[in-house]
A and B are shown apart, each in its own frame.
Chain A
């Protein structure tokens, strides 16, 4: 369990992070979302004990990160921003060093090394110097050192930054695969990542939490959430707009390229059926008809830009 209370960090007079408070239990995957400079990395550096907070505290299973840092740090696996590693070492040498530093010995050490190398698919590069590896492999080496001791808490600062779509998919699959009894905190400015892996999303802007909830609740903040979009290439859009605009419970029908988006007055999941029935009755040739789940990028912009204006 992680308890973070009133965590605050000032650099001189500038607040990098203000009053961050939350509590996480095993099974939760928290996504820190926010533009660059929002305080995500600062928060993670304090959660892992690298930076000392100006005020507030972090407790990992009851151990205070400042009074009892060695105990608290044992629970944590951490991937710092940019996945730093000793470039002149090989992945094997590097992971062996981490295993020793983590106090793993004997059979457990051998098993953990083998398992981690397999999970991260590092077999083919084990003997190469890290400096010669591709970005994707370097990131995987960084993730491997973070999960090596099978930590209860995984803190990953932008784990998929700079990876290609296949590698991103792999990393997300790995995170979801190991998280059943673990706490994971992921920072990202990549919106799809939050919906793909997290079950809790916290939006930071200018060092403050501006939203905290499930990714779905974040989506629900979008004006598009619950709207229905109908696309048709043959029917007259003007006619469609007029007809659907008069359906009860419709607030607005906005024309878009090749179709129309219909916004309900209240989100009650009946709009889709109503629009479907009307289009069948009118005999329109409908290309597609779907409920919008919400547009995260818009929510993100309105939350984080609103804060800075």
Chain B
């Protein structure tokens, strides 16, 4: 249960600084703007939250790196990483604790969008099962972005580099099913591998989720993205120990 100690400290850290409040405010404003102006929430005249959820991959693409960039970079820069890594805690506890804190924080921001859920229930009669599944799917996807960001942040002590790297790698994952990425690999990868790359797309998986089809496969997909990238984080940290 040592990861809980790290998680508690980290979560406290978000709310002890303006980070939490700025992030939540911007997240809420932007998700509102996207839903109502770009998603034509009212004009569609449909009682669902598709316009709300379908912009989440894009919203996360630049907001999640803002959370994850500081995960390790900041500690490496300020020297507290040395303190943390010499405490009798396993690396797994530290990696998982930090990730969970960031994930719970993202979950809090996501949960605070509940007025839109109330709105759609007030205006019409939506399928609330779909909405709950979509919230869950969105949160899982946020976890995927955060795990990528955790690894990128472990690589460098510069938060700016961590931000840019995380944004770039996340974009590759979001767009993996689209020509932008597939054209890059088409020439030299066998077809089965191309299909594999395509199936790594956040967007493909999340589009299904935002329409309410949250299958076990999508759940497993995001879970494995999280596990793999946290494993990569741990490996990067270990390599850095070798100096």
- By a beta-carbon cutoff of 8 Å, the part of chain A in contact with chain B is 9, 11, 45, 48-52, 69-71, 73-74, 76, 78, 80-82, 84-89, 93, 97-98, 100-103, 129, 145
B241 at the interface (CB under 8 A from A): yes
Give the interface SS of chain B, mostly helix, strand, loop or mixed.
Answer: helix
Which A residues lie within 8 Å of B2 (CB)? 101
Question: Please, how many angstroms separate the alpha-carbon atoms of A50 and B84 in the complex?
Answer: 9
Q: What is the minimal beta-carbon distance from A5 to any residue of chain B, in angstroms?
A: 19
B13, A50: Cβ atoms under 8 Å?
A: no
B38 at the interface (CB under 8 A from A): no
B86, A82: Cβ atoms under 8 Å?
A: no
A50, B86: Cβ atoms under 8 Å?
A: yes
Which A residues lie within 8 Å of B9 (CB)? 86, 89, 97
A89, B13: Cβ atoms under 8 Å?
A: yes
B243, A51: Cβ atoms under 8 Å?
A: yes
Q: Which among B44-52, B87-95, B125-133 touches the partner chain?
A: B87-95
Question: Please, how many angstroms separate the alpha-carbon atoms of A259 and B78 in the complex?
Answer: 52
Q: Quick one: which of B73-116 are within 8 Å of A by CB?
A: 78-80, 82-83, 85-90
Known: A51-B243, A70-B88. A81 touches B12 (CB 8 A): no
24 of the cross-chain contacts (CB-CB < 8 Å) are A9-B243, A49-B86, A50-B241, A51-B241, A52-B241, A52-B243, A70-B88, A73-B86, A78-B86, A84-B82, A85-B83, A86-B9, A86-B80, A88-B13, A88-B16, A97-B5, A97-B9, A100-B8, A101-B5, A101-B6, A101-B88, A101-B89, A103-B88, A145-B83
B13, A85: Cβ atoms under 8 Å?
A: no
Known: A89-B13, A93-B12, A97-B9. A52 touches B83 (CB 8 A): no
A50, B85: Cβ atoms under 8 Å?
A: yes
B187 at the interface (CB under 8 A from A): no
B242 at the interface (CB under 8 A from A): yes
A80, B82: Cβ atoms under 8 Å?
A: yes
Q: What is the minimal beta-carbon distance from B34 to any residue of chain A, in angstroms?
A: 31
Which B residues lie within 8 Å of A85 (CB)? 80, 83
